[in-house]
């Protein structure tokens, strides 16, 4: 008999080969499992809300763990973090209801892709923002106009990695917007689910709109083509961060989603 707890886990993805456990490569899931087994040797493998690519960061990876006994959440956090490396931390913990599974019961996610413009890369943003070089600044109004075409329910085959194993390319994007602060530019994407590399391909395509390689009006045609070759480049992983996950209201995990829940 085990007792379930929900963790909100943050990590700097630079030195990880993604969330999912690997045979020989370093992963967040493996580090967390090792930490749990240091004080609960029978702890099963922790279950995450979703995969992140190698080099991608997260502030809000939702993780379900099963413990052999009841824990005060603060003490559980302290015990886990005492055995974790510096680049991954459990940020919060709470008892989880029986039957809750983070991957199945996620209602929506927010990803932020961070860009920095300018003649030189800011060393304090190294491996946190994609430094986009260029004598001419990105056309941010054109990028914002292009982003609006991504909102809605679409077949996102043009924004999907060839090795994506999802059964359907259909996804809903609730928000695709730009947030600006001088040379810093954040591309914010909120949706019900995302395909493999989907956010990075959307980000790369928007940057190419900003560079004039595509027009904002090209986006509907790119979506309609259902052809990965029609979209832009895949942005590098280090600019991407999983910022928030909202779960179905009935489970009482975290803040409720600002977006409608899909029927089960």
* Token reading at 68: 């052999």
262 is catalytic: no
Q: Which of 15, 40, 53, 181 is catalytic?
A: 53
Name the token pair of 214.
Answer: 């595509």
DSSP sequence for 206-224:
HHHHHTTSS-GGGHHHHHH
Q: Report the candidate in 102, 104, 108 with the shortest Cα–Cα distance to residue 192.
A: 108
The count of other CB atoms within 10 Å of the CB of residue 157 is 19
**What string of DSSP letters covers 59-95?**
EEEEEEEEESS---HHHHHHHHHTTS-TTEEEEEEEE
CB atoms within 10 A of CB 99: 9
Instruction: Report how far residue 27's alpha carbon sits from residue 37's, in angstroms, rounded to the nearest whole number.
Output: 16
User: Which residues are the active-site residues?
Assistant: 53
């Amino acid at each position: 008999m085990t007792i379930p707890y929900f963790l909100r886990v943050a990590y700097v993805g630079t030195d990880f080969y993604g969330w999912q456990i690997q045979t020989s490569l370093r992963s967040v899931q493996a580090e967390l499992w090792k930490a749990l087994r240091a004080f609960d040797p029978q702890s099963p493998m922790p279950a995450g809300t979703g995969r992140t690519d190698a080099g991608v960061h997260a502030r809000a990876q939702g993780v379900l763990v099963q413990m052999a006994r009841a824990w005060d959440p603060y003490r559980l956090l302290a015990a886990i973090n005492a055995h974790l490396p510096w680049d991954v931390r459990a940020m919060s913990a709470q008892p989880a209801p029986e039957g809750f599974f983070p991957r199945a019961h996620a209602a929506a996610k927010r990803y932020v892709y961070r860009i920095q413009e300018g003649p030189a890369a800011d060393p304090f943003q190294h491996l946190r923002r994609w430094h986009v070089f260029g004598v001419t600044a990105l056309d941010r109004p054109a990028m914002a106009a292009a982003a609006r075409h991504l909102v809605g329910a679409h077949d996102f085959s043009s924004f999907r990695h060839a090795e994506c194993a999802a059964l359907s390319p259909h996804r809903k994007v609730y928000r695709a917007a730009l947030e600006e602060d001088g040379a810093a530019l954040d591309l914010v994407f909120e949706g019900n689910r995302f395909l493999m590399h989907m956010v990075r391909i959307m980000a790369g395509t928007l940057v190419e709109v900003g560079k004039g390689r595509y027009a904002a009006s090209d986006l509907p045609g790119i979506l309609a083509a259902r052809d990965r070759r029609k979209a832009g480049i895949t942005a590098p992983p280090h600019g991407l961060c999983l910022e928030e996950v909202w779960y179905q209201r009935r489970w009482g995990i975290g803040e409720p989603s600002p977006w409608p829940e899909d029927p089960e």
